Amino acid sequence: MTTTHPAHKTSPPPLLAGFGITKRFGDLVANQNIDFAIQPGELHAIVGENGAGKSTFIKIVYGLLQPDEGHLEWQGKPVTFSNPLQARAMGIGMVFQHFSLFEALSVMENIALALPPDFPKQDLSALIARKSAEYGIPLNPETVIADLSVGQRQRVEIVRCLLQEPTLLIMDEPTSVLTPQETDQLFDVLHQLAKQGCAVLFISHKLDEVKQLTSRATILRGGVKVAEVETAKKTTRQLAELMVGDKVKGITADTKRKKGKCLYEVRGLIRPAFGPFDVALKGVSLKVHAGEILGIAGIAGNGQSELMSALSGEWRPDQNGMLFTEDTDISRLGPTGRRHLDLAFVPEERNGHAAVPSMTLSENALLTGYDEDGVVAKGVIQFDQTLAMAQRISKMFDVRQPSDDPLASALSGGNLQKFVVGREIMKSPRVLIVSQPTWGVDIAAAQFIRNAMADLARQGSAVIMISQDLEEIFEIAHSIAVLNEGKLSEIFESSKVTAEQIGLLMGESHDLTSGQIPPKTNRTSGKERGAS
Amino acid sequence: MFDDLLLTVLLTSIPLILAATGELVAEKSGVLNLGVEGMMLMGAVSAFGFASMTGNPYIGILGGGLAGMMVAMVFAVFVLGLATNQVATGLALTIFGTGLSGLIGAPLVGQAIDGLSALYLPILSDLPIIGVLFQLDALAYLAIIIVAVVSYVLNKTKAGLILRAVGVNHDSAHALGYRVLQVRFLAVCFGGFMAGLGGAYLPLVLTPHWAEGMTSGRGWIALALVVFASWRPGRVIIGAILFGGVTILQLVAQARGWGVPSQFLSMMPYFATIIVLVLISSRGRIQFGSPAHLGKNFLATR
């Protein structure tokens, strides 16, 4: 384990340094005595699982939180940021993980909101167009955010920071929503910035990217800095071990399985767009067989939620003939009817969709588990039975909970996700349909959830997994299809395609991947970029 | 005859314009204040009281606005400070304002005051038909000016952009370092002041005496008007004249014995609002300028 003293005794002083940063929330110590330093022009990673204290730390750096102990130094002088405006005035820019953009406002209005009061008055529209083109990420200042893809939204955030000529740019999990091509493009921009002397603080748990982009990494685990390493000198596996603390268990899709019978089939599913931000489904067809995990890749906003609502029955087509489980036509059946046929669903949003935050775990277990034996007797809920059911789920799925039967809102994101996935898997459904099963979940919990889905498939169930995480799809899916602009690609054997190929399908006909996609769809790109 | 009718319609629309513009600003910042009726009544009784004590209707205007603002502050303390439910608190404010104004106003019943007089503008006021536009009082002109200023500030200035941003997404605004609660507090206060002015208009211009509950539902019409105007200040004026016109129409209908039940006509503003609400939910909120975080409380926990 290598640790370096934060203040490198050489001159000049680091751009930003933290000394003994400690932050407590009640009994929880989110950051404990963290020392940290970043040099001008350095690409530095903060690595850690969810809950390791990364977010707390960068919020302190950005002035959203104040440390209980310890202090920050900017270019060798002690500073305190009591709010983000002060941090920005100093030259710190931040791109958030969940974008802090205003959907109903235009690109220009969004950027204007983030500018300091003393920003020179000028034609902001022209400035945005020029600056974004300069970095090869063209933007139209008049577009309303709601009409942009996730990748384009991130560009808005980046350009918003760049206009203030930052000397330190903080990127919080920036690649979690991007295709491989978009990620490469982002890294080009970041390298370009670093060359110009802007330091980049890159928060991530994707270790390949950390190695690819950054030169140093500070690794946090449980709120404590466990190491500061030169990323070139460590393997991804070593980084992962530092981050997780014990050996990482990897699983690989077992591709040598026999194809069972088809358990769920979609034939030419068409769903119109109901609102301005809906994506119409244009003739989606798929089949998933017993023992198979079908991964549906795609960038968010290409029809995932619409597809999920059709697969689960929350939205139903007007006529029969589109959705089947074995030989039963379920097109007109609602979610309850489909559950009775032994299908199970885990929607993407755990708070308020998969689970009711203000209800206890046992009540949440009851919401989809009321068919289980003994839970409801003659219409009366058997609370001891529901509690037992919830506790079985928690035990099986390693849900860490503060009390016997806590409110769902009392659980961390990862634990609640384990619970809602576990709740469905415990019923051993014939078909499990799950959307973004490990979104915002730490590595250990994500691994657990993926293992559970793989086990379910091994026992002969079929799994449809809609996910934006390509690594996840390649890890456990036997077959892969890509959802792009409401159309589903053909289904590929996962052993016969590469992440690169899938990434290309995901980016197709979006103007996100200028230069790397077939020229016919290249609408707005200003300059040619390196070939893939 | 037509001139008189037009003037009456205009005068009826002024309190609606005042109150609705204030509520529009509050709603644009994300706060739904259903207490408009209560704030208007407080404005009305205070305006009458001050005007009757001092004999100066302009002091009455100021007193009415301030009284509306003070009850709005009570609302703000609950909704912003203690994060209480906005709908319930707003309804409580209406009930509170109705009761308190009745209590304060009990000794004032039956008194008479000199109201605001119309400002006479040479030549303009004498023009045929459009001359009525220039036979209004100072508060009426002020109302039009305020609408123009509010429209300009909301759409063309940074302050207005911040206010809209807070209403559209308070979490993002907070993350950018804007003080959500402070912005909302100011917006609610402005809303209260304007509702107070709207209330003040009733005893100072329309009927120069005080009667309990004299707003008779105008606060609710103002609330509906904000939705009807789809949160655009310019449309508030048009809507207020339409709604005001309908109110007058029912009086005319009764007087002339037209076969239309007056209840049907007094229903029209609400009916029109429901149509607009249906359009909003079917076409999506964004085009209609409906603030996405309207009615949602902000808690700066992290």
CATH of the domain at A457: 3.40.50.300
Question: In terms of domains, do A167 and A274 share one?
Answer: no
Is A282 within the bounds of a domain? Answer: yes
Residue A531 has pLDDT above 50, yes or no: no
Closest residue in B to A99 (Cα–Cα):
B172
Phi, psi (rounded to 5 degrees) for A355: -140, 155
Provide CB contacts within 8 A for A461, sequence distance 6+. A263, A290, A291, A428, A429, A430, A431, A432
For residue A63, list chain B residues with Cβ-Cβ distance below 8 A.
177
Question: In terms of domains, do A204 and A347 share one?
Answer: no
Residue A512: what pLDDT? Answer: 36
Residue B273 has pLDDT above 80, yes or no: no
More confidently predicted of B110 and A7: B110
- A276 and B161 in contact by Cβ < 8 A? no
Highest mean pLDDT among A61-75, A130-144, A433-447, B238-252: A61-75
Residue A11: what pLDDT? Answer: 61
Question: In terms of domains, do A175 and A239 share one?
Answer: yes
Rounded Cα distance between B194 and B17, Å, is 9
Residue B93 has pLDDT above 80, yes or no: yes
Is B138 within the bounds of a domain? Answer: yes
More confidently predicted of A302 and A365: A365
Residue A381 has pLDDT above 60, yes or no: yes
- B165 and A102 in contact by Cβ < 8 A? yes
Give me the residue from A84, A112, A117 closest to B161, CB to CB.
Answer: A112
Question: In terms of domains, do A207 and A174 share one?
Answer: yes
Could you read off the pLDDT of A283-301 as tens digits, one per residue?
999 999 999 999 998 877 7
More confidently predicted of A336 and A174: A336
Is A310 within the bounds of a domain? Answer: yes
Residue B285: what pLDDT? Answer: 54
Rounded Cα distance between B155 and B24, Å, is 13
Could you read off the pLDDT of A53-109 as tens digits, one per residue?
888 899 899 988 899 999 999 998 999 988 888 888 888 988 876 667 888 888 999
pLDDT confidence bin for B161, thresholds 50/70/90: very high
Q: What domain range includes position B56?
A: 2-288
Residue A9: what pLDDT? Answer: 47
Residue A504 has pLDDT above 50, yes or no: yes
Question: In terms of domains, do A314 and A386 share one?
Answer: yes
Could you read off the pLDDT of B106-116 as tens digits, one per residue?
999 888 888 88
Give me the residue from A88, A102, A117 closest to B168, CB to CB.
Answer: A102
Prediction pTM value: 0.67
Rounded Cα distance between B109 and B94, Å, is 21
Is B283 within the bounds of a domain? Answer: yes
Count structural domains, chain A.
2
Rounded Cα distance between B78 and B71, Å, is 11
Residue B281: what pLDDT? Answer: 67
* Residue B301 Cα distances to A64, A322, A499, angstroms: 11, 46, 40
Average pLDDT rounded to a whole number, residues A408-425:
88
Is B82 within the bounds of a domain? Answer: yes
Q: Considering only A157-166, A275-284, B95-104, which range has the smallest mean pLDDT? A: A275-284
Residue A530: what pLDDT? Answer: 35
CB contact, 8 Å: A222 with chain B?
no
Residue A525 has pLDDT above 80, yes or no: no
Residue A255: what pLDDT? Answer: 52
* Residue A494 Cα distances to A181, A256, A258, A298, A502, angstroms: 19, 11, 15, 15, 10
Is A309 within the bounds of a domain? Answer: yes
Q: Considering only A229-238, A327-336, B21-30, B119-128, which range has the smallest mean pLDDT? A: B119-128
pLDDT confidence bin for A3, thresholds 50/70/90: very low
Q: Considering only A95-99, A261-265, A268-272, A513-517, which range has the smallest mean pLDDT? A: A513-517
Is A48 within the bounds of a domain? Answer: yes
Question: In terms of domains, do A304 and A229 share one?
Answer: no
Residue B191 has pLDDT above 50, yes or no: yes
Question: In terms of domains, do A103 and A132 share one?
Answer: yes
Is B61 within the bounds of a domain? Answer: yes
Element at A503 (helix H, strand E):
helix A499-507
Residue A345 has pLDDT above 90, yes or no: yes
Residue A183: what pLDDT? Answer: 83
CB contact, 8 Å: A28 with chain B?
no
Q: Considering only A151-165, A288-302, A500-514, B187-201, which range has the smallest mean pLDDT? A: A500-514
Average pLDDT rounded to a whole number, residues B17-44:
96
Min Cα–Cα distance to chain A from B90, Å: 25
Give me the residue from A109, A144, A275 closest to B161, CB to CB.
Answer: A109
Provide CB contacts within 8 A for A119, sequence distance 6+. A163, A164
Is B300 within the bounds of a domain? Answer: no
Is A514 within the bounds of a domain? Answer: no
Average pLDDT rounded to a whole number, residues A462-487:
89
Instruction: Name the strands in the sheet holding A199-204, side by side, starting at the edge strand that comes first in the sequence.
Output: A77-79, A69-74, A16-25, A28-38, A224-230, A216-221, A43-47, A199-204, A168-172, A92-95
- What sections of A426-486 are H helices per DSSP? 443-458, 470-476
CB contacts < 8 A (A, B) = 58
Residue A468: what pLDDT? Answer: 80
- A103 and B286 in contact by Cβ < 8 A? yes
Is B299 within the bounds of a domain? Answer: no
Question: In terms of domains, do A147 and A45 share one?
Answer: yes
Question: In terms of domains, do A290 and A162 share one?
Answer: no
Provide CB contacts within 8 A for B43, sequence distance 6+. B64, B65, B67, B68, B195, B196, B197, B198, B199, B200
pLDDT confidence bin for B53, thresholds 50/70/90: very high
Average pLDDT rounded to a whole number, residues B15-21:
96
The dihedral region occupied by A10, where left means phi > 0, alpha psi between -120 and 50, and beta the remainder, is: beta
Average pLDDT rounded to a whole number, residues A460-478:
89
The overall average pLDDT reported for chain A is: 82
Residue B72 has pLDDT above 70, yes or no: yes
Of A41, A37, A35, A34, the closest CA to residue A16 belongs to A37
The dihedral built from the CA positions of residue A92, A98, A100 and A106, taken in this order, carries a sign that is positive
The overall average pLDDT reported for chain B is: 89
pLDDT confidence bin for A464, thresholds 50/70/90: very high
Residue A112 has pLDDT above 80, yes or no: yes
Give me the residue from A65, A83, A105 closest to B168, CB to CB.
Answer: A105
Is A2 within the bounds of a domain? Answer: no
Q: What domain range includes position A127?
A: 16-244
Count structural domains, chain B.
1
Residues 483-512 of A with CB under 8 A from B: none
Bridge partners, A269 (sequence order):
A284
Is A517 within the bounds of a domain? Answer: no
- In chain B, which residues touch A (CB < 8 A)? 158, 161-162, 164-165, 168-169, 171-173, 175-178, 283-287, 289, 292, 302
Residue A518 has pLDDT above 50, yes or no: no
- Going by their DSSP bridges, the two strands A328-329 and A323-325 should be labelled as antiparallel
The alpha carbon torsion through A303, A304, A306, A307 (nearest 10 deg) reads 110
A31 close to A71: Cβ distance less than 8 angstroms: no
Element at B96 (helix H, strand E):
helix B86-105
- What sections of A196-230 are H helices per DSSP? 207-213
As a whole-number percent, the residues of chain A with pLDDT over 70 amount to 88
Residue B15: what pLDDT? Answer: 96
For residue B168, list chain A residues with Cβ-Cβ distance below 8 A.
102-105
Could you read off the pLDDT of A143-184 as tens digits, one per residue?
888 888 777 888 888 888 888 888 999 988 787 667 777 788
Give me the residue from A59, A84, A144 closest to B177, CB to CB.
Answer: A84
Question: In terms of domains, do A341 and A394 share one?
Answer: yes
Q: What is the identity of the amino acid at B178? A: Y
Question: In terms of domains, do A266 and A238 share one?
Answer: no
Min Cα–Cα distance to chain A from B188, Å: 21
pLDDT confidence bin for A497, thresholds 50/70/90: confident
In this structure, what CATH number is given to the domain that contains residue B11? 1.10.3470
Residue A316 has pLDDT above 70, yes or no: yes
Residue A177: what pLDDT? Answer: 67
Question: In terms of domains, do A366 and A487 share one?
Answer: yes
Of A373, A363, A354, the closest CA to residue A420 belongs to A354
Q: Which two tokens stand for residue A297?
A: 């890749």
Q: Considering only A251-260, A425-434, B206-215, which range has the smallest mean pLDDT? A: A251-260
Q: Which two tokens stand for residue A1?
A: 């384990």
Give me the residue from A101, A146, A276 closest to B172, CB to CB.
Answer: A101
Average pLDDT rounded to a whole number, residues B30-57:
95
pLDDT confidence bin for B302, thresholds 50/70/90: very low
Neighbours of A296 (CB within 10 A): 29
Burial (CB count within 10 angstroms: exposed 0-12, middle 13-18, buried 19+), residue B7? middle
Residue B96 has pLDDT above 80, yes or no: yes
As a whole-number percent, the residues of chain B with pLDDT over 90 amount to 55
Point out the domain boundary residue: A244, A270, A294: A244
A291 close to A306: Cβ distance less than 8 angstroms: no
Classify the complex by whether its ipTM is higher than 0.85, answering yes or no: no
* Residue B35 Cα distances to A480, B20, B38, B190, B228, angstroms: 56, 12, 5, 13, 18
Residue B296: what pLDDT? Answer: 84
Residue to mutate among B286, B288, B296, with most A CBs inside 10 A, is: B286
Residue B268: what pLDDT? Answer: 79
Rounded Cα distance between A322 and A330, Å, is 8
Highest mean pLDDT among A148-152, B26-30, B166-170, B256-260: B26-30
Residue A444 has pLDDT above 90, yes or no: no
Residue B177 has pLDDT above 90, yes or no: no
Residue B31 has pLDDT above 90, yes or no: yes
Residue A527 has pLDDT above 50, yes or no: no
Residue B44: what pLDDT? Answer: 96
pLDDT confidence bin for A514, thresholds 50/70/90: very low
Is A358 within the bounds of a domain? Answer: yes
Residue to mutate among A102, A156, A279, with most B CBs inside 10 A, is: A102
